[in-house]
Amino acid sequence: MLDNQQHIDSALPQRIEHRSRDVVKVMLPLVKELAKAGKA
């Protein structure tokens, strides 16, 4: 039980970090397009 809790605690931040990286990958092109549209 205790080991399982530790595993969850250590696995969760990695998952969140991975997901935020995916979000950045998707958002960066959108932000660049918006910046281009804003300048034009």
How far CA 29 is from CA of 22, 26, 35, in Å, comes to 12, 6, 10
DSSP assignment of the chain equals -HHHHHHHHHHHHHHHHHHHHHHHHHHHHHHHHHHHHHH-
Provide the pLDDT for residue 1.
Answer: 56
- Give the pLDDT confidence of 1-40 residue by residue, as tens digits: 567 777 767 778 888 888 889 999 999 999 999 999 988 7
